Structure 1
Amino acid sequence: MLSIGLTGGIAAGKSLLSARFRELGAVVIDADRLAREAVAPGTPGLAAVAKAFGPGVLTAGGALDRPALGALVFADKDRLAALNAIVHPLVRAAAGRLEDDAAPDAIVVQDIPLLVETGQGAGFHLVIVVDAPLGQRLARMVETRRMTPEDARARVAAQAGDEQRRAAADVVLDNSGAPEAALAALDALWAARLVPFARNLAAGVPARHPGPPAITGPDPAWPGQAARLAARIAKAAGGFGVAVDHIGSTSVPGLAAKDVIDLQLRVASLADADAAAPALAAAGFPRRRGQWWDTGHDFAGGRAGERWEKRFHNAADPGRPVNLHVRVDGSPGAVLALAFRDWLRADAPARSRYESIKRQLAAAHAADTDTAGYAGAKEPWFASAVPELARWLELAR
């Protein structure tokens, strides 16, 4: 199933998008509702809250007095953290049970106000953030939720900042205008990316990205995207993974590239690579079988004519092309992939020459239906660059 984390600052519009997700057919799990159920009268959660914060947070009837509790925690980060330590594990367990009950081909959306603050992003295939300017959100809280301006600002201060949420987002949906505009953006995302992503996951196949090579960028968003993807891969690989590296052209600041993120998962053995493959596929990175290099390969296989064995995966997400190279830690291919990246980062003339050859070959293969010919045409340049790379490595030691 496709698992999506939906979040945003208070009053940004999560409820609006959650309702639309339900209309579109998604299974929506509301963390706020689960949090209320976790501290309902008679539950162990409520008992734990009363023990931690005293009987003053209970009504005469024994229910949770939310305004009284809010007055305690939203002005004190330590007390808020203590409350979250009680409630969040209960909410996650309940959400996990609901997700387990969903169909294999379902799109499951977890509406989690504190997704970023609790570091849950790596557990989802995608994180969607609904965004609106702070002033607009404060006005909504005062006008529609009847909060005082002071209470509204305290609620905002208790959450992550806007930049922190955007950094955790794979998709940002703007809700600063008319609600219809945000809903239209969600509808388009659903049709063009989410439904095909879910279909690819269910079938266990990578997304297709036909067309000739297109050199773009450099894009300053590439490192952040790579970091989010690497966190998901590391979580999926679990004990089989040694490290995840951002490699290839998008890992080199200032270098133009195809808009494809290359990542390297280092493992202890190829047997571990094969053992991790099902979890990687479930996390959105199914294995591509066949050639030792495939569409989008970007110098990590060694000199031309050599076959340094690895496992090759791609993203099932049609909205973010990814090449995942799974190599044995310390193998020549793994070492060379990192060395080539570091050389290009450090050596501006080499970086310039590489960009020039990339642009020339992309132009030469502009009529191709895929990027295989372009990738193969780069191999002679890689072979010619190895001696210079070796000299740089000697000097860098």
Structure 2
Amino acid sequence: MLSIGLTGGIASGKSLLSARFRELGAVVIDADQLARDVVAPGTPGLAAVVAAFGPGILRPDGTLDRPALGAIVFGSPQRLATLNAIVHPLVRAAAQALQADAEPGTIVVQDIPLLVETGQGASFHLVVVVQAPERERLARMVSDRGMTAADALARMAAQASDEERAVVADVVLVNDGTREQASAALDGLWETRLLPFSRNLVARRPAPMEGPAVLAPADPTWPLQAARLMARIQAAAGDRGIAVDHIGSTSVPGLAAQDVIDLQLRVASLDDADFLATALADAGFPPHAGNLLDTGHDFAGGRQGEMWEKRFHNAADPGRPVNLHVRVDGSPGALLALAFRDWLRADASARRAYESHKRLLAFNHHGDSSAAGYAQAKEPWFAQMVPDVNGWIARTRWHCPQA
């Protein structure tokens, strides 16, 4: 099933989107409601909170006096951390149980106000963040919730900033218009990205990447996008994943590239690579049909023309194309990918030469139905540059980055 994390600052419109997700057919899990449920009377959660903060946080009927508890923890990071250490694991366990009960093929949305603050982004296939201008959020809290401006500003200041949420966001929906406009934006996301992503997950197939190679200007957000993907891959691989690397042209600042993120998962053996195929597919990276081979270029002890085996996966997400190369750690193919990346990062003239060559090849293959011919045509350039890379390695004493 497709798992979505939904978050946003107070009064940004998260509740509006949660309601619309339900109308579209998603299973919505409300972390705020679960946080109340796990400290209901008679629960182990409430007993743990009372043990930590005393019986003064209970009302006469035995329910939790939330304002009293809030007065204790608000402004005290240590006491807030104590409360979170009790409640957050219980909420996550309850959410996981609800998600496990969902039918296969369901889109499950977890509405988590503190998703960023609790570092849960890698647990989801996608994180959707709803944002609204601060002045509008402030007005909503004052008019709709009866808060004073000072209290509203304090609540906003206690949460992650928009910039911090943007770092973990795969999708940002800006709610600065009408409710109908916000719902329409979510509807568009649902139809064009979430439904196809969900179907691809069920079928364990990559999203199609059609059309010729088109070079885009260097995007400074590519490394941030890669970091989010890498965290999900590492979580899926667990202890069998030695390292996840951002490689390829999108990993080189200032270099024009196809808007396709290339990543490398290093493992101890191809048996581990095969073992991880199911976990990677579940995480949103199903195997490519057939396994590919890396062509050796007399690099790191390899023989000219030698073939190096790897496993190859793509993204099921139609909104974020990904090539995932699964290689044995320390193998010539893994080393070559990292060395070329670091050489291009370090050598401006090499970057210019490579970009010029790519632009020529993209022009030559602009009428192709896919980027396969363009990719194949780049290989001779890499072979020609291997001596330069080897010379750079010797001069700089480059070594493979450690996990």
Question: In the TM superposition, what are the counterparts of 1:65-144 in structure 2 within 5 Å?
Answer: 65-144=65-144
Moved more, 230-239 or 133-142: 133-142
SS in 1 for 2:276: helix
Q: Is the 8 A contact 1:315 1:322 kept in 2?
A: yes
Deviation of the 1:245 alpha carbon: 0.3
Deviation at 1:267, TM superposition (A): 0.2
Cα deviation, 1:80-102, whole Å, max 9, x if unaligned, reads: 21111111111101100000011
Q: What are structure 2's unaligned runs of at least 5 residues?
A: 298-303, 398-403
CA deviation profile, 1:156-175 (whole Å, cap 9, x unmatched) = 22211111111010000001
In structure 1, the partner of 2:361 is 361
Aligned to 2:4: 4
User: In the alignment, does 2:226 pair up with 1:221?
Assistant: no
Distance 1:89 1:271 in 2: 34
The amino acid across from 1:2 in the alignment is L
Aligned to 2:300: none
Relative distance call for 1:114 and 1:301 in structure 2 (3 A) is: farther
Query: What is the distance in 2 between the residues matched to 1:302 and 1:374?
Result: 19
1:174 paired residue number: 174
**Which residue is 1:391 aligned to?**
391
Change (3 A) 1:75 1:142: farther
Post-superposition Cα deviations, 1:235-281, rounded to whole Å, max 9, x if no partner, equal 00001100000000000000000000000000000000001111000
Following TM superposition, where does structure 1 have runs of at least 4 consecutive aligned residues deviating by more than 6 angstroms? none
The aligned residue for residue 191 of structure 1 is: 191
The residue correspondences of 1:154-303 to structure 2 (distance < 5 A) are 154-290=154-290, 292=292, 301-303=295-297
Please give the alpha-carbon distance, in whole angstroms, between the structure 2 residues aligned to 1:302 and 1:10: 54
Q: Is the 8 A contact 2:270 2:310 kept in 1?
A: yes
Mapped to 2, the partners of 1:33 and 1:212 lie a distance apart of 48
Distance in 1, Cα, partners of 2:108 & 2:307: 41
Question: Taking structure 1 as the reference length, what is the TM-score of the superposition?
Answer: 0.96
Q: TM-score, normalised by structure 2?
A: 0.95
Amino acid at match of 2:210: P
Aligned residues: 391
Partner residue, 1:297: none
Q: Secondary structure at the match of 1:216?
A: coil
Gaps of 5+ in 1: 294-299
Q: 1:290, 1:92 → 2: CA distance? A: 37
The answer (yes or no) to whether the contact 2:8–2:131 under 8 Å persists in 1 is yes
Q: CA–CA distance in 1 between the matches of 2:32 and 2:334?
A: 44
Deviates most, 356-365 or 60-69: 60-69
Quote how far apart the aligned CAs of 1:148 are: 2.2
Percent identical pairs in the alignment equals 71
Q: Please state whether the residue corresponding to 1:105 is helix, strand or coil.
A: coil
**Structure 1 residues 79 and 150, CA, compared in 2 at 3 Å: closer, same or farther?**
farther
Q: Which amino acid aligns with 1:53?
A: F
Paired residue type of 2:353: R
Q: CA deviation at 1:305?
A: 4.4
Alpha-carbon distance between aligned partners in 1 of 2:322 and 2:363, rounded to the nearest angstrom? 22
C-alpha separation between the residues in 2 aligned to 1:70 and 1:40? Answer: 16
- Give the whole-Å Cα distance in 2 for the aligned partners of 1:306 and 1:180: 59
- For the structure 1 residues 149 and 54, does the alpha-carbon distance in structure 2 shift closer, same or farther, using more than 3 Å as the test? farther
Which residues in structure 2 correspond to 1:272-351 (within 5 Å)? 272-290=272-290, 292=292, 301-303=295-297, 305-351=305-351
1:49 aligns with 2:49: yes
Q: In the alignment, what sits opposite 2:148?
A: 148
The letter of the residue matching 2:358 is: K
1:77–1:158 CA contact under 8 A, matched in 2:
no
Change (3 A) 1:305 1:208: farther
The AA in structure 1 aligned to 2:146 is R
Amino acid at match of 1:96: Q
**Cα deviation, residue 24, structure 1:** 0.4
What is the one-letter code of the residue matched to 1:354? Y
Distance 2:306 2:24 in 1: 49
Structure 1, residues 163-209: CA drift from partner, whole Å, max 9, x if none? 11110100000012212111111000000000000000000000001
Q: 1:316, CA displacement in angstroms?
A: 0.3
Contact 2:261 2:322 (C-alpha < 8 Å) held by counterparts: yes
Does the 8 A contact of 1:18 with 1:111 survive in 2?
Answer: yes
**Deviation sequence 1:87-132 (CA, Å, 0-9, x none):** 1111101100000011111100000000111111001000000001
SS at 1:215's partner residue?
coil
**Does the 8 A contact of 1:75 with 1:154 survive in 2?**
no
Shift of 1:291: 5.7
User: Could you say if the C-alpha distance between residues 54 and 148 of structure 1 is closer, same or farther in structure 2, counting changes exceeding 3 Å?
Assistant: farther
1: distance between equivalents of 2:339 and 2:201?
33
Hey, what's the Cα distance between the residues in 1 that align with 2:344 and 2:93? 45
| Alpha-carbon contact 2:295-2:305 (below 8 Å) kept | no
> Is the Cα–Cα contact under 8 Å of residues 291 and 312 in structure 2 kept in the other structure?
no
Q: Which residue of 1 aligns with 2:33?
A: 33
Report the Cα distance in structure 1 between the residues aligned to 2:59 and 2:175, rounded to whole angstroms. Answer: 37
Letter in 1 for 2:355: E
